[in-house]
A and B are shown apart, each in its own frame.
Chain A
Amino acid sequence: MSSVLYDAPGPRARRRMLIFSVLGTAVVALLVLFAVLRLKENGVFSARQWEPFTDPGIQRLLFKALWATVKAALVAIALALVLGVLLAAGRLSDHAWVRTPATMFIEFFRAVPLVLLILFLFLGFSDELAFIGRIFGSSGQGAFGPLVVGLMLYNGSVLAEVFRSGVAAVPRGQAEAAYALGMRKNQVMRMILVPQATRIMLPAIVSQCVVALKDTALGFIISYEELLRQGRLIYTNFGNIVPTLFVIAAIYIIMCMALSGLASYLERRLRQRGSRVVALDPAAEMGGGGSAVGEPAELVR
């Protein structure tokens, strides 16, 4: 589209674009410069503020926090995948008494803020859920369970909808042919639809992993020892809040970008083969809430 919006530039347009380029760059550069200078004035770039990060003890603390974050994300995603499969199977069921509860479950957990859900689980069930922390050897036993279960309920509900769109995205002739061959619904699902749907929705699943990884930061609110919470230990100790936030942001951005990159690589590869692709819509990517109306995942092509 953007190539249609303007012609190949002539001499005058090129001059104008150069002016805009310079102006745009100047504005961006000025904003950055202003922020950097102000931060510098307030001593954010002094060696003393960054020195703690060269300390092996602090680095170990950060690595442990990183592991806690990754562990919560991995466990939550694994559980969410299982829950998502179950919910999607329920939602695609022919029996209303299975379909209706599954639909209500999905809609409820997509409509409630994840923070509220995690807080509720933490305030009411941290003892009951402590066994999850024990199983996975998390030292933050009280907070690990509620965080992981909250993430599981929310992401499982979103993934269920992704799975549903994935199954719906398989060309209809596939299921029809399978039925014509005399397969049962169970066999059609298991042997025909799910294997093809998995490929189609792989990019959306990976994108959802990014969302889950980002949402582990909500563990901060219930004092789970993830990156932000442990960062707080560092900055209350050394008074270097801005550098600490930058370091944590860098860690998150690198991890999430790697995963997002994988998602878009998978999507590109599928598209090149002319296959359909299920992609998350922007609201689902926001995390912490996702969308509650319509589909969290949209069918592209």
Chain B
Amino acid sequence: MDVLIDNLPALLRGFRETVELSAIAALVALVLGTLLAAIRVSPVPTLRWAGTFYVNTIRNTPLTLVYAFMAFAVPRLDFQVGPFRAAVLALGLYTAAFICEAIRSGVNAVPVGQAEAARALGLTFTGTLRHVVLAQAFRSVIPPLGSIFIALVKNSAIAEFFAVPEATKVFDDLVRDNPDALYWLFAGVALGYVILVLLISAVFRFLETRLVVLR
């Protein structure tokens, strides 16, 4: 217990890093995932194939490997990325594929009549998508998006190995210094993650009650 109290500042710093990393990565993933979803329903075959290829590749690659690519292969493209940016890229690019799938199934859940009506009113492809289909899809996509962001926070723990000083890294270092306090440290850090998870799920439940459309 004392170990937790003595090292509270370090643990809090670790969790702040976790939150920062996850928040930025979530933003990247949301933007890229939405774009990918739009591409995957677009009438341009090349773009559709590129989107499908991206999603299928990412979905079948371990996240640890994506991290390794960002940390070790991206520098060979002459982009200098520090550990933090590499982790943001890895998490963002990985999660984008899953956000794309969630949005796409949300798009498919919008009744076809809505799109037909929009077309009948003369809206263009982009207009139909933006004002009618995506506007509704985003609402039905809120619960899965919440789960994806929770998974993202938990996946940010892999950054531990790639020199990002986030919560799991702090846990690792503290345990190596105080091996006797393993249980307390695990309980403390696990509690931290559980709190984060509960916070995100509360936010998304709130959004859901506010935005959900009754059909």
Seen from chain A, the residues whose Cβ lies within 8 Å of a Cβ on chain B are: 1-2, 4-7, 9, 17, 20-21, 24-25, 28, 35, 38-39, 41-42, 44, 108, 111-116, 119-120, 123-124, 210, 214-218, 220-221, 228, 241-242, 245, 248-249, 252-253, 256-257, 260, 281-294, 296
Contact = CB atoms under 8 A, between A and B. Distances in A.
Q: Which residue, of A5, A20, A115, has the highest number of chain B Cβ atoms within 10 A? A: A5
Given A115-B158, A242-B76, A252-B62, A289 B44 contact: no
A253 B182 CA distance: 36
A4 B117 CA distance: 10
B201 interface: yes
A35 B146 CA distance: 33
Contacts of A41: 78
The 8 A-B pairs at the shortest CB distance, nearest first, are namely: A289-B154, A291-B147, A283-B147, A217-B62, A256-B60, A113-B157, A289-B151, A113-B154
B65 interface: yes
A1 B115 contact: yes
B81 interface: no
A113 B65 contact: no
Contact of B186 (A115, A116, A288): A116
A7 B65 CA distance: 42
A161 to B, nearest CB: 12
Contacts of B50: 24, 28
Given A282-B99, A286-B152, 19 more contacts: A1-B108, A4-B115, A5-B119, A5-B129, A21-B45, A111-B154, A113-B153, A113-B154, A113-B193, A116-B168, A116-B190, A119-B160, A218-B62, A252-B65, A253-B61, A281-B144, A282-B105, A286-B151, A291-B147
Interface string B143-174: 11011101111111110110000001001100
B77 A38 contact: yes
A283 B201 contact: no
A120 B186 contact: yes
Which bucket holds chain B's interface residue count?
35 or more
A221 B162 CA distance: 10
Contacts, number: 219
B57 interface: yes
Given A1-B110, A214-B63, A7 B189 contact: no
Interface of B: 41, 43-47, 50, 56-57, 59-65, 68-69, 72-73, 76-78, 94-95, 98-99, 101-102, 105, 107-108, 110, 112, 115-116, 119, 125, 128-129, 133, 143-144, 146-148, 150-158, 160-161, 168, 171-172, 175-176, 179, 182-183, 186, 189-190, 193-194, 197, 201, 204-205
A283 to B, nearest CB: 3
Contacts of A120: 182, 186
A103 B78 CA distance: 49
Contacts of B144: 281-283
Nearest to B194: A111
Nearest to B40: A2
Contacts of A292: 147, 150, 197, 201
B98 A218 contact: no
A39 B77 contact: yes
Given A116-B157, A119-B171, A221-B158, A24 B46 contact: yes
B172 A119 contact: yes
A245 B171 contact: no
A282 B125 contact: no
A25 B72 contact: no
B69 A245 contact: yes
B160 A221 contact: yes
B62 A214 contact: yes
Contacts of B171: 116, 119
Nearest to A217: B62
20 contacts: A2-B41, A20-B47, A112-B190, A115-B168, A116-B171, A123-B172, A123-B175, A210-B60, A220-B161, A228-B68, A249-B69, A253-B57, A253-B61, A260-B56, A281-B102, A282-B102, A282-B148, A283-B147, A286-B94, A292-B150
